[in-house]
Amino acid sequence: MGLPQTRFARLQYMESHVTPFGDHQADIGISVVQLGEFTANTTAARDAWDAYVAAQQAEGAARAAWYGAIATATTTARGALRSINTFAKNSANPEAVYALAEVEGPKPREPLGPPATPTDMGVTLDTEGRATLRWSGSREGGTVFTVQRRTTTTGGQTSPWTTLSTVPERTFLDTATPSGVLSVGYRVRGERVGGASAFSSPIALPLGAGGNQESVAGAIAPVQASGKDAG
Protein backbone atom coordinates (compact mmCIF):
# COMPACT_ATOMS: atom_id res chain seq x y z
CA MET A 1 0.00 0.00 0.00
CA GLY A 2 1.37 3.39 -0.96
CA LEU A 3 1.02 6.42 -3.14
CA PRO A 4 2.40 6.77 -6.68
CA GLN A 5 5.82 8.36 -7.10
CA THR A 6 4.99 11.38 -9.25
CA ARG A 7 2.98 14.38 -8.06
CA PHE A 8 0.35 14.28 -10.76
CA ALA A 9 -0.09 10.53 -10.39
CA ARG A 10 -0.68 11.06 -6.66
CA LEU A 11 -3.31 13.69 -7.47
CA GLN A 12 -5.09 11.29 -9.80
CA TYR A 13 -4.93 8.55 -7.18
CA MET A 14 -6.42 10.78 -4.49
CA GLU A 15 -9.17 12.03 -6.80
CA SER A 16 -10.12 8.45 -7.62
CA HIS A 17 -10.48 7.68 -3.90
CA VAL A 18 -12.57 10.65 -2.75
CA THR A 19 -15.81 8.81 -3.52
CA PRO A 20 -14.98 5.38 -2.04
CA PHE A 21 -13.48 7.01 1.06
CA GLY A 22 -16.60 9.13 1.48
CA ASP A 23 -19.03 6.29 0.85
CA HIS A 24 -17.33 3.92 3.26
CA GLN A 25 -15.71 6.22 5.79
CA ALA A 26 -16.90 4.37 8.87
CA ASP A 27 -16.20 0.95 7.38
CA ILE A 28 -12.60 1.59 6.32
CA GLY A 29 -11.32 3.16 9.53
CA ILE A 30 -10.88 6.83 8.72
CA SER A 31 -12.42 9.58 10.77
CA VAL A 32 -14.84 12.25 9.61
CA VAL A 33 -12.11 14.84 10.18
CA GLN A 34 -9.62 12.84 8.08
CA LEU A 35 -12.18 12.46 5.31
CA GLY A 36 -12.89 16.17 5.32
CA GLU A 37 -9.22 17.08 5.16
CA PHE A 38 -8.56 14.46 2.46
CA THR A 39 -11.39 15.76 0.28
CA ALA A 40 -10.56 19.44 0.78
CA ASN A 41 -6.84 19.01 0.20
CA THR A 42 -7.40 16.90 -2.92
CA THR A 43 -9.66 19.59 -4.35
CA ALA A 44 -7.09 22.28 -3.49
CA ALA A 45 -4.38 20.24 -5.21
CA ARG A 46 -6.50 19.95 -8.35
CA ASP A 47 -7.15 23.72 -8.36
CA ALA A 48 -3.43 24.40 -7.95
CA TRP A 49 -2.59 22.03 -10.79
CA ASP A 50 -5.11 23.66 -13.12
CA ALA A 51 -3.71 27.09 -12.24
CA TYR A 52 -0.17 25.83 -12.87
CA VAL A 53 -1.09 24.49 -16.32
CA ALA A 54 -2.90 27.72 -17.19
CA ALA A 55 0.14 29.74 -16.12
CA GLN A 56 2.41 27.62 -18.31
CA GLN A 57 0.12 28.09 -21.28
CA ALA A 58 -0.06 31.82 -20.62
CA GLU A 59 3.73 31.98 -20.35
CA GLY A 60 4.11 30.19 -23.68
CA ALA A 61 1.59 32.52 -25.32
CA ALA A 62 3.32 35.56 -23.83
CA ARG A 63 6.71 34.33 -25.06
CA ALA A 64 5.36 33.74 -28.56
CA ALA A 65 3.79 37.22 -28.56
CA TRP A 66 7.08 38.79 -27.44
CA TYR A 67 9.12 36.98 -30.07
CA GLY A 68 6.68 37.94 -32.79
CA ALA A 69 6.49 41.57 -31.68
CA ILE A 70 10.25 42.06 -31.46
CA ALA A 71 10.75 40.38 -34.86
CA THR A 72 8.25 42.75 -36.46
CA ALA A 73 9.75 45.77 -34.69
CA THR A 74 13.26 44.73 -35.76
CA THR A 75 12.22 44.53 -39.41
CA THR A 76 10.64 47.98 -39.16
CA ALA A 77 13.71 49.47 -37.44
CA ARG A 78 16.06 48.05 -40.06
CA GLY A 79 13.90 49.54 -42.81
CA ALA A 80 13.98 52.94 -41.09
CA LEU A 81 17.77 52.81 -40.74
CA ARG A 82 18.16 51.89 -44.42
CA SER A 83 15.98 54.86 -45.37
CA ILE A 84 18.01 57.20 -43.16
CA ASN A 85 21.26 55.89 -44.64
CA THR A 86 20.02 56.33 -48.21
CA PHE A 87 18.75 59.85 -47.46
CA ALA A 88 22.02 60.80 -45.77
CA LYS A 89 24.15 59.54 -48.65
CA ASN A 90 22.15 61.67 -51.08
CA SER A 91 22.21 64.78 -48.90
CA ALA A 92 24.73 67.64 -48.88
CA ASN A 93 25.66 66.95 -45.24
CA PRO A 94 25.35 63.24 -44.39
CA GLU A 95 26.84 63.68 -40.91
CA ALA A 96 24.13 66.21 -40.00
CA VAL A 97 21.44 63.71 -40.99
CA TYR A 98 22.98 60.98 -38.83
CA ALA A 99 23.32 63.43 -35.94
CA LEU A 100 19.65 64.44 -36.14
CA ALA A 101 18.63 60.77 -36.17
CA GLU A 102 21.09 60.07 -33.32
CA VAL A 103 22.50 57.09 -35.20
CA GLU A 104 26.07 56.24 -36.09
CA GLY A 105 26.96 56.64 -39.72
CA PRO A 106 28.73 53.87 -41.65
CA LYS A 107 32.40 53.58 -40.88
CA PRO A 108 34.85 53.73 -43.79
CA ARG A 109 36.24 50.34 -44.68
CA GLU A 110 39.78 49.88 -43.50
CA PRO A 111 42.14 48.62 -46.21
CA LEU A 112 43.42 45.10 -45.81
CA GLY A 113 47.05 44.75 -44.89
CA PRO A 114 49.36 42.01 -46.14
CA PRO A 115 47.91 38.48 -46.14
CA ALA A 116 49.03 35.79 -43.72
CA THR A 117 51.99 33.66 -44.71
CA PRO A 118 50.88 30.51 -46.58
CA THR A 119 51.20 27.26 -44.63
CA ASP A 120 50.94 23.48 -45.04
CA MET A 121 52.87 23.30 -48.30
CA GLY A 122 53.04 19.92 -49.97
CA VAL A 123 54.55 18.70 -53.24
CA THR A 124 54.19 15.50 -55.27
CA LEU A 125 55.41 14.26 -58.65
CA ASP A 126 52.96 13.16 -61.32
CA THR A 127 53.60 10.35 -63.80
CA GLU A 128 55.32 12.80 -66.16
CA GLY A 129 57.81 13.92 -63.53
CA ARG A 130 56.16 17.30 -62.91
CA ALA A 131 55.93 18.77 -59.43
CA THR A 132 52.49 19.70 -58.14
CA LEU A 133 52.40 22.11 -55.20
CA ARG A 134 49.52 22.74 -52.80
CA TRP A 135 49.29 25.02 -49.77
CA SER A 136 46.86 26.71 -47.41
CA GLY A 137 46.22 30.44 -47.39
CA SER A 138 43.46 33.06 -47.42
CA ARG A 139 42.31 34.49 -50.76
CA GLU A 140 40.57 37.43 -49.07
CA GLY A 141 40.92 40.78 -50.80
CA GLY A 142 41.98 39.27 -54.11
CA THR A 143 45.09 37.59 -52.71
CA VAL A 144 47.29 35.85 -55.30
CA PHE A 145 50.31 33.66 -54.70
CA THR A 146 53.84 33.94 -56.06
CA VAL A 147 55.73 30.66 -56.42
CA GLN A 148 59.54 30.51 -56.35
CA ARG A 149 61.94 27.64 -57.02
CA ARG A 150 65.60 26.80 -56.44
CA THR A 151 67.71 23.73 -57.12
CA THR A 152 70.53 21.91 -55.38
CA THR A 153 73.05 20.11 -57.57
CA THR A 154 74.57 16.74 -56.81
CA GLY A 155 77.68 18.68 -55.84
CA GLY A 156 75.79 20.55 -53.14
CA GLN A 157 75.49 23.91 -54.93
CA THR A 158 72.15 25.69 -54.29
CA SER A 159 70.86 28.21 -56.82
CA PRO A 160 69.19 31.53 -55.96
CA TRP A 161 65.42 31.63 -55.73
CA THR A 162 63.70 32.40 -59.03
CA THR A 163 60.06 33.33 -59.53
CA LEU A 164 58.06 30.82 -61.57
CA SER A 165 54.59 32.34 -61.62
CA THR A 166 51.90 34.24 -59.73
CA VAL A 167 48.64 32.31 -59.50
CA PRO A 168 45.18 32.99 -58.02
CA GLU A 169 44.72 29.44 -56.72
CA ARG A 170 46.39 27.54 -53.88
CA THR A 171 47.98 25.03 -56.22
CA PHE A 172 50.64 25.13 -58.92
CA LEU A 173 51.93 22.67 -61.52
CA ASP A 174 55.62 23.10 -62.36
CA THR A 175 55.60 21.98 -65.99
CA ALA A 176 59.38 22.48 -66.23
CA THR A 177 60.51 20.63 -63.12
CA PRO A 178 64.32 20.39 -63.35
CA SER A 179 66.04 17.05 -63.82
CA GLY A 180 69.59 15.92 -63.16
CA VAL A 181 69.75 17.67 -59.78
CA LEU A 182 69.84 16.42 -56.22
CA SER A 183 66.67 18.26 -55.18
CA VAL A 184 64.40 21.10 -56.07
CA GLY A 185 62.95 23.48 -53.48
CA TYR A 186 59.80 25.59 -53.55
CA ARG A 187 58.32 28.40 -51.51
CA VAL A 188 55.29 30.66 -51.90
CA ARG A 189 53.97 33.95 -50.56
CA GLY A 190 50.62 35.76 -50.68
CA GLU A 191 50.24 39.17 -52.31
CA ARG A 192 47.43 41.72 -52.51
CA VAL A 193 46.95 45.50 -52.62
CA GLY A 194 47.75 45.75 -48.89
CA GLY A 195 51.20 44.18 -49.34
CA ALA A 196 52.93 40.81 -49.49
CA SER A 197 53.34 38.16 -46.82
CA ALA A 198 56.61 36.54 -45.87
CA PHE A 199 57.56 33.49 -47.90
CA SER A 200 56.45 30.14 -46.56
CA SER A 201 58.95 27.70 -45.13
CA PRO A 202 60.58 26.04 -48.17
CA ILE A 203 60.02 22.40 -49.00
CA ALA A 204 62.51 20.23 -50.89
CA LEU A 205 61.60 17.56 -53.43
CA PRO A 206 64.46 15.03 -53.50
CA LEU A 207 65.17 13.83 -57.03
CA GLY A 208 68.59 12.14 -56.86
CA ALA A 209 71.32 12.14 -59.50
CA GLY A 210 69.12 10.27 -61.98
CA GLY A 211 66.82 13.23 -62.48
CA ASN A 212 63.08 13.57 -62.18
CA GLN A 213 62.19 10.49 -64.20
CA GLU A 214 63.10 8.22 -61.30
CA SER A 215 60.42 6.88 -58.98
CA VAL A 216 60.09 9.27 -56.04
CA ALA A 217 58.49 8.41 -52.70
CA GLY A 218 55.59 10.54 -51.46
CA ALA A 219 57.39 11.81 -48.34
CA ILE A 220 58.72 15.32 -48.77
CA ALA A 221 61.40 16.57 -46.37
CA PRO A 222 61.03 20.25 -45.34
CA VAL A 223 64.19 22.35 -45.36
CA GLN A 224 64.84 25.80 -43.91
CA ALA A 225 65.97 28.69 -46.08
CA SER A 226 69.19 30.41 -45.05
CA GLY A 227 69.24 34.10 -44.22
CA LYS A 228 70.71 34.80 -47.66
CA ASP A 229 67.89 32.95 -49.42
CA ALA A 230 65.07 34.37 -47.36
CA GLY A 231 65.03 37.75 -49.03
Q: Is residue 206 part of a domain?
A: yes
Same domain, 196 and 125: yes
Asked if the structure places residue 43 within a domain, the reply is yes
- Domain of residue 83 covers 7-87
Same domain, 136 and 187: yes
Q: Decide if 158 is inside a domain.
A: yes
Both 73 and 137 in one domain: the answer is: no
pLDDT at residue 208, as a whole number: 72
Domain boundary among 87, 110, 143: 87
pLDDT averaged over every residue in the chain: 88
* Residue 92 counted as domain residue: no
Per-residue pLDDT, 209: 53
DSSP string, the chain: ----SSHHHHHHHHHHHHHHHHHTHHHHT--HHHHHHHHHHHHHHHHHHHHHHHHHHHHHHHHHHHHHHHHHHHHHHHHHHHHHHHHHHTSS-HHHHHHHHT-PPPPPPPPP-PPPPPEEEEEEE-TTS-EEEEEE---TTT-EEEEEEEEE-TTS-BPPPEEEEEESSSEEEETT---SSSEEEEEEEEEETTEEPPPPPPEEEE--TT-TTS---S--EE-PPPTTTT-
pLDDT of residue 14: 94
Is residue 144 located within the same domain as residue 205?
Answer: yes
What is the C-alpha separation between 210 and 6, in angstroms, rounded? Answer: 83
The tens digit of pLDDT for each residue in 108-167 reads: 878 889 999 999 999 999 989 899 999 999 999 999 999 999 999 998 999 999 999 999
227 in a structural domain: no
pLDDT number for residue 218: 34
Question: Is residue 108 situated within a structural domain?
Answer: no
Same domain? For 22 and 73 the reply is: yes
As beta bridge partners, residue 55 has none
CATH of the domain at 168: 2.60.40.10
pTM to 2 decimals? 0.49
Asked if residue 217 and residue 167 are part of one domain, the reply reads yes
Both 81 and 123 in one domain: the answer is: no
